[in-house]
Amino acid sequence: MQVDVVVVGGGAMGSAAAWQLSRSGKSVILLEQFEAGHHIGASHGATRNFNTAYAEADYLDLLAEAKTLWDELAAETGAPLLDLVGLANHGNVERLRTIQEAHQERGIESYFISADEAMDRWQGMNFVTDVLFVPGSGRIRSANALEALRKVAESRGAIFKFSTPVRGIRVDGAETVVVVTDETEYTASRVVVTAGAWTNKVLGEHAKLPPLVVTQEQPAHFTPVDNTLVWPSFNHTPDMDDPAYEYWYSPVYGMLTPGEGVKAGWHGVGPVMDPDERTFQPIPEQLDALVRYAQEWLPGVDPSTAVPISCTYTTTPTEDFVLDRFGPLVVGAGFSGHGFKFTPAIGRVLKDIVDGGVAPQRFLADR
């Protein structure tokens, strides 16, 4: 079967690429190895942080575009996708001041409040440092976002094929790629690979990427003790010179997931694992430490109610994304841990690379 573009991987980034490619008039087939709505990769779950606490220009540019596109997607589908409950950042105040300076340069609203004021405003949380609050941040309805991306892509002719693993990719010149599945072969002038933890397995020797480390991450939901409490999304960075934080594995992120509880998790410290050999079980020591975090910092939840969640991170050494082209293959990888908020803008970047464009230098494989 001949199409303009085959997208391999039907998570957030692949779905966004299919949307952007199909809206530009290209014929698109998306191939996803698992069933629709599966929980095996990195895109499942009801919520993600819409976190604008960046100081880097490349990321702030993508965030501004992503916000516009999230709103556009929501308007087209009639499904709200962003809950702008705000983002409370605390811990490393020096870093937060750098972020606020970058925000001020771009006209992004953010401001500091004292720890006491923060605890009065958000009585389910404890604070000991000034808090950088970003009111235009919050959370993404991530499960709804995946459905919306698929809906608008299919409305423009894209075909999503689930339970269709790719068995091989054959590059037959600068403008021809053959993608092999169990049922047939697809021929395209470009193939976009957004396969998450399976990126290296799909690409083989076709692309030289920075190391992609796959870890199994294990955040948890905690039940609020009072449903009237107000919860912002949050980022919390420890002072590792203070013995009180010795049990921490990393910074903590979190948000309220309506109907499930307050989500909190360590960032990128789970065990390295083959995505096809996952245990889906939390590391007891990390879960115990997360429960201790809830006891000390989240008085608005019941720490004993921790319900672990399992997902994968696929991370580069710098934690920057890879958005690049290798002949007729276009690759988007390394998003895990902080990529979801950028999803619709990443789809646009991947579409532009298909059309001959180049991503910002930060995101090139050999930068």
User: Taken in order 312, 342, 349, 347, is the CA torsion positive or negative?
Assistant: positive
Residue 73 lies in a domain: no
Residue 160 lies in a domain: yes
Give the pairing type, strands 329-333 and 190-193.
parallel
> Are residues 309 and 221 part of one domain?
yes
Residue 63 lies in a domain: no
pLDDT in tens, 170-226: 999 889 999 999 999 999 999 999 999 999 999 999 999 999 999 999 999 999 999
> Are residues 256 and 297 part of one domain?
yes
Asked if residues 264 and 252 have their Cβ atoms less than 8 Å apart, the reply is yes
> Token digits for 148?
């919306």
pLDDT in tens, 65-99: 999 999 999 999 999 999 999 999 999 999 999 99
Distances in whole angstroms, Cα of residue 136 to Cα of each of 82, 86, 129, 233: 10, 6, 21, 11
Alpha-carbon span 97 to 110, nearest angstrom: 10
> Are residues 203 and 149 part of one domain?
yes
> Are residues 233 and 128 part of one domain?
yes
Alpha-carbon span 185 to 172, nearest angstrom: 13
Residue 114 lies in a domain: yes
Domain that holds residue 161: 5-45+144-210+318-363
Q: Torsions phi, psi of 43, nearest 5? A: -105, 0
Alpha-carbon span 161 to 348, nearest angstrom: 21
Alpha-carbon span 181 to 1, nearest angstrom: 11
pLDDT in tens, 251-305: 999 999 999 999 999 999 999 999 999 999 999 999 999 999 999 999 999 999 9
> Are residues 219 and 109 part of one domain?
yes
pLDDT at position 241 is 85
> Are residues 352 and 240 part of one domain?
no
| Residue among 321, 140, 131 at smallest CA distance from 237 | 131
What CATH number is attached to the domain comprising 254?
Answer: 3.30.9.10
Alpha-carbon span 93 to 357, nearest angstrom: 38
Alpha-carbon span 180 to 174, nearest angstrom: 18
Cross-strand bridge partners of residue 140 = 48, 82
Task: Please give the single-letter amino acid code of residue 357.
Answer: G
Contacts for 295 with CB less than 8 Å, ≥ 6 apart: 303
> Are residues 278 and 179 part of one domain?
no
To which residue do tokens 């030289």 refer? 208
The pTM of this model reads 0.96
Give the other-Cβ count within 10 Å of 105's Cβ.
Answer: 11
> Are residues 353 and 225 part of one domain?
no
Residue 81 lies in a domain: no
> Token digits for 179?
């993608």
> Are residues 151 and 184 part of one domain?
yes
> Are residues 206 and 325 part of one domain?
yes
